[in-house]
Structure 1
């Protein structure tokens, strides 16, 4: 008997549909001699830090051990994992099926976490003593599922994926559990009551927003001038912009003309003068089709055009893949497509006519024989770009977000089967009384793939096309070098330097992916450019959501801004923790582990060294966190009758009630009822401190 273990029920149902369902039991589907069962996400979770600390450590009222410096760092000698509270029943079902099986087929999602998700329970709970094959598929439509079933591979080939996921999970646990406790305790010593959660990716991401916000708030606009002139040629009129000489009077260090008097003098001297064409070049250019979409690409586009959050985009892409089966696997950082799937184009295009009939004319205009540069096996990572499937679905069943994002994915796929965009680029340079002017313009000769986007194309325009600021958005008359022109009128154009834009959820995920752009050191920048940034396409949305949930980031319209608490926390952390460099280095090591060339233990040794060093530094001194609740004042008047330490007035469980507690807690557990704002010292309540079970 073959036992298929899928990552989630939807994958199990898709596999069972292809194998041929013959029966059904609680938690599994029978398919002849095969059985298909499922997990639902990670069934195991890492043990709580309390598991590894001293058994006799004091506990708070909620039963959790109280955080103490002496317990840090927490570095497990043997890592422990426990079934999730809601997972035990299904794990028991899978365990019984596993015992009867001759062969296991691992059907986790095609990535690191999907690999670990099935490998870990099989290894830790079931014994891992049976041959395991790997089902690796990026879509849930019947054609893709059948293709995956027909190409099972030995699961050992993917061991690096599981090791990388496990190493990442342990590293994140070490950093999160240790540094969050160490810096939170440091803040408490400074009188601030704030949970300072530190994360390997979360903290550098927050730092990006804090730095951007401060740059904007400290920005001082610098006024400068440009000069634009209207010229008359025998072939027609056109506009051109002035370009200063290197030694031009009135320029600042950035080459901007900031001297108004110099600008006015130039305008006056140039108007009415005769000019000469010093260069006239006209050449045909092309722009290739855009690549298909990675998850980051979809997030940026959906944030820009629809205002969707990163979490909304991820959830929507997941439902298009998992529920509707209309698109391929979404958690991808790759926008290229495997050449083997090029042959699927006619079937996908035909299916799209039924899914999006409003795009039928565009679909009919697509030529499946055109092979864009997007089809490139050498660029494929664990996944490929997000594309439509051959599933004959019903778009009327999609919600508005699903329709909008599905439309984006479809149009980018259709663009692959339209010709390249062609245009005639014209560049003109002029001399007027020794001053240089330039103009350029484009004439589209074949719209090509841009037809796939209609009037409101969501793709970027070509380099060289003007935006109205450089006199590029115009049709230029036919000219030749040496022709005379008349400068009809020169005009001063006043501008101001602009601050960078605030991050949106889309641009922040893009910044996380292209983190090298935010690093100054040349060696680090090169290393980061060659990597995949910080976080992964699958985790970036959840990281942003967590930062918002912790009140480190907040929404401001479409923008994301850092809060006072978020900024203060960044200020309290050392550079090594908030810099993206270390995180990116670890991502590179994880990639090496995934590909079979990295050492998991060496990776963990580096993590432990970092943790010991940073915890030691955090345990020294104190810090005050702005935006955090300040610790209650310890009374210098009222003393505990048991230990003579000052008392603290605290809020009671009921509204508008109070009590007094000893500041020596947990060593001293005395508390006193409040009477008209004072402690009733005659009625001390001495609670017995809780201890660990079995201690």
Structure 2
């Protein structure tokens, strides 16, 4: 079969969307298989033959993975400090097919050999570029194929948008710098993770710990954030403070005002003195002002802001939200999910009427018809902003003109309905007027003491009729009390006063939402002014596409765990997580290195920084880290192990990852039996084992004869 153009999509849903617009599609499947019970299992769809020599096939995300160290050299099967650092040469890096998708990959390789022009249809981001490039390399795409290769950019599975993308494909080579930034990240993460995990695990083993100490470029600084927050909470000691509340009255309208101090009042005697002062003389009105304030609707969602809201409102994990919105995207209900943006191109406003019509037909949420009917399409919020969108591939997450179609996933998942509901509500809110409030501030001066009260009265609900007040930060000093009209300079007597005692509270444990926020605003926790300034320019720890997976990885590795707290679910570090984070030197667990690497990756993407220079610099840093661990410059401090000691004073640890578990000394390598997970007797030498076996057989024979 001769192929004119071969489209390789990142996912089946994207591949099918492309094939539909190319037309004349005939689906080909993988070969049927015979199951263990003899039944025939039909082969899964593998590619689609379209008209005019076009063929569309697809990946299932990444089809290959970085080889393990032992694939480079058998000696790496055993973790040994002396073998570190491990660093493949520039042309030695290996990728291995994932078992679960190996058959599909073989089909793609066969198709590549028959294709004249290759078209990369990965997601429109650096990982999408790399994912398809890995397939090209594995299939040994020829220089001529690479020269003529094209890149199609699709972030909206709406048929019209797919057609537009097909008509505006670009040369593949334009995206090589972006692909190289993803490749650099992948290789740098491998170098750091493999080397530091191995040396920390080896050092831990010497100190009597059998756990694998997993260290990662992003994972470790993130774990440290959680551990440090937990230690702050653990070591927190509450402090008592005192507020003074004065009650005043004007024209029969009483109201309360709070004593204003630069810092919390920690001495009760100082508060008592204010109470005594209020009993004498009058207070003078030094400020009385009411202003009408407008609050614009909150912007449409980025993945981060959506994950934060679903965490706070519904207790969803970041990974759950990402998986849901990904499926909504694949069902052609919402736009591309892995986006950092909260803005839209102005041209997308032309789709509003069609989107509203689709929302009206949404079968699961009839109440939204009233929302749409109450919207004013002539209004324009700040969401449509070409200046903010300059150079961006993906918009905020919004409903598509196909959002009204039926979806089995939506029908069956209550969580999906909640996420879909929030995305639509936030979009429709852009066509509601601003909310308006009357904000009043009253300040009274009594002697040298200042008292203040504030009040807010909602005058126009606007977009709050859809979203309520969830998005807005409530002023902690604002009250719902009715405030009188006052004149500047007038005097009021204090009718009553009281002291309210309070206690400081510890910082709150992280949730998925607040941890995501910390990751995206990592500069806030860095003290060094030079690094803080630089980090404000970067995306923080991880990206929109990777943050949820990093948090999930910490959970799966047993370093953090979910702890229910009312309606929320807190994330707290486990004893193992604390032990690892506190054992590592500061410059390994510090987020500065991670964020600075990310900044350099961004420069590779823009063509400002060479790929090879970056990799040389990373390799040099890994060598420095390993040498520092080996020489003791980096202290890897762990609590005293409770593991059993061998006769040689080494620690006896369980080798549970062997085919048959056993126990072994970390120093003399003496082996011991495993008895249902418990340390047993030492293995005998071969001669003693043979003698013992003969004796046991002789005894068994004698017992049998006696019977």
Contact 1:427–1:440, Cα closer than 8 Å, also in 2: yes
Match 1:43 to one of 48, 57, 63: 63
**5+ long unaligned stretches in structure 2:** 30-45, 691-707
Confirm or deny that 1:459 pairs with 2:471: yes
Tell me the residue number matched to 1:250.
none
Tell me the residue number matched to 1:5.
8
Indicate how the Cα distance of structure 1 residues 608 and 370 shifts in structure 2: closer, same or farther if over 3 A, else same.
same
* Superposition deviation, residue 235 in structure 1: 6.8
Tell me the residue number matched to 1:61.
none
* Superposition deviation, residue 430 in structure 1: 1.2
Tell me the residue number matched to 1:18.
21
Deviations 1:195-224 (A, max 9, x none): 100000000000000110111111111111
Deviations 1:361-412 (A, max 9, x none): 1111222222211222332334221111111223661411101111111111
SS at match of 1:126: coil
Q: Aligned residue pairs: how many?
A: 649
Higher helix share: 2
C-alpha distance in 2 between matches for 1:413 and 1:581: 36
C-alpha distance in 2 between matches for 1:662 and 1:235: 84
Tell me the residue number matched to 1:567.
578
Tell me the residue number matched to 2:110.
96
Deviations 1:636-657 (A, max 9, x none): 59xxxxxxxx9969799999x9
Confirm or deny that 1:596 pairs with 2:607: yes
C-alpha distance in 2 between matches for 1:151 and 1:348: 24
Confirm or deny that 1:496 pairs with 2:499: no
Tell me the residue number matched to 2:646.
634
Contact 2:672–2:682, Cα closer than 8 Å, also in 1: no
Deviations 1:139-179 (A, max 9, x none): 22323323322332222222222111100000000000000
* Superposition deviation, residue 20 in structure 1: 2.0
Tell me the residue number matched to 2:485.
478
Deviations 1:521-553 (A, max 9, x none): 112111111211011111111111111122111
Match 1:236 to one of 253, 260, 271: 253
Match 1:431 to one of 414, 425, 445: 445
Indicate how the Cα distance of structure 1 residues 662 and 335 shifts in structure 2: closer, same or farther if over 3 A, else same.
closer
SS at match of 2:100: coil
Confirm or deny that 1:157 pairs with 2:165: no
Contact 2:9–2:121, Cα closer than 8 Å, also in 1: yes
Confirm or deny that 1:283 pairs with 2:291: yes
Indicate how the Cα distance of structure 1 residues 630 and 182 shifts in structure 2: closer, same or farther if over 3 A, else same.
farther
Tell me the residue number matched to 2:231.
214
Equivalent positions of 1:75-154 (< 5 A) are 75-77=87-89, 78-128=92-142, 129-130=144-145, 131-154=148-171
Name the stretch that deviates more: 134-143 or 383-392: 134-143
Match 1:259 to one of 247, 258, 267: 267
C-alpha distance in 2 between matches for 1:432 and 1:506: 44
- Two-structure CA RMSD over aligned residues (Å): 2.9
Contact 1:3–1:35, Cα closer than 8 Å, also in 2: yes
C-alpha distance in 2 between matches for 1:426 and 1:124: 67
Contact 1:232–1:488, Cα closer than 8 Å, also in 2: yes
C-alpha distance in 2 between matches for 1:522 and 1:602: 27
SS at match of 1:357: coil
Deviations 1:559-604 (A, max 9, x none): 1111111111112111121000010001111111122222111111
Indicate how the Cα distance of structure 1 residues 240 and 120 shifts in structure 2: closer, same or farther if over 3 A, else same.
same
Equivalent positions of 1:165-564 (< 5 A) are 165-234=182-251, 236-244=253-261, 255-271=263-279, 273-322=281-330, 324-355=331-362, 356-380=365-389, 381-391=392-402, 392-394=404-406, 397-454=411-468, 457-461=469-473, 466-467=475-476, 470-557=477-564, 558-564=569-575
Equivalent positions of 1:667-682 (< 5 A) are 677=681, 680-681=684-685
SS at match of 1:193: coil
Name the stretch that deviates more: 513-522 or 81-90: 81-90
**5+ long unaligned stretches in structure 1:** 58-63, 247-254, 638-645, 687-695
Indicate how the Cα distance of structure 1 residues 199 and 368 shifts in structure 2: closer, same or farther if over 3 A, else same.
same
Indicate how the Cα distance of structure 1 residues 619 and 239 shifts in structure 2: closer, same or farther if over 3 A, else same.
same
Contact 1:334–1:385, Cα closer than 8 Å, also in 2: yes
Question: Normalising to structure 2: TM-score of the pair?
Answer: 0.86
* Superposition deviation, residue 685 in structure 1: 7.3
C-alpha distance in 2 between matches for 1:519 and 1:634: 45
SS at match of 1:389: coil
SS at match of 2:238: coil
SS at match of 2:105: helix
C-alpha distance in 2 between matches for 1:98 and 1:199: 35
Name the stretch that deviates more: 118-127 or 412-421: 118-127
* Superposition deviation, residue 236 in structure 1: 2.6
* Superposition deviation, residue 433 in structure 1: 3.4
C-alpha distance in 2 between matches for 1:38 and 1:475: 64
Name the stretch that deviates more: 523-532 or 380-389: 380-389
Indicate how the Cα distance of structure 1 residues 595 and 659 shifts in structure 2: closer, same or farther if over 3 A, else same.
closer
Indicate how the Cα distance of structure 1 residues 398 and 484 shifts in structure 2: closer, same or farther if over 3 A, else same.
farther
Indicate how the Cα distance of structure 1 residues 649 and 404 shifts in structure 2: closer, same or farther if over 3 A, else same.
closer
C-alpha distance in 2 between matches for 1:36 and 1:237: 74
Contact 1:73–1:611, Cα closer than 8 Å, also in 2: yes
Name the stretch that deviates more: 377-386 or 173-182: 377-386
Contact 2:210–2:653, Cα closer than 8 Å, also in 1: no
Match 2:80 to one of 35, 44, 68: 68
Contact 1:671–1:685, Cα closer than 8 Å, also in 2: no
Name the stretch that deviates more: 97-106 or 290-299: 97-106
* Superposition deviation, residue 421 in structure 1: 2.0
C-alpha distance in 2 between matches for 1:200 and 1:32: 46
The structure, 1 or 2, with the larger RCO (C-alpha pairs under 8 Å, 6+ apart) is: 1
Question: Normalising to structure 1: TM-score of the pair?
Answer: 0.87
Indicate how the Cα distance of structure 1 residues 412 and 272 shifts in structure 2: closer, same or farther if over 3 A, else same.
farther
SS at match of 2:463: helix
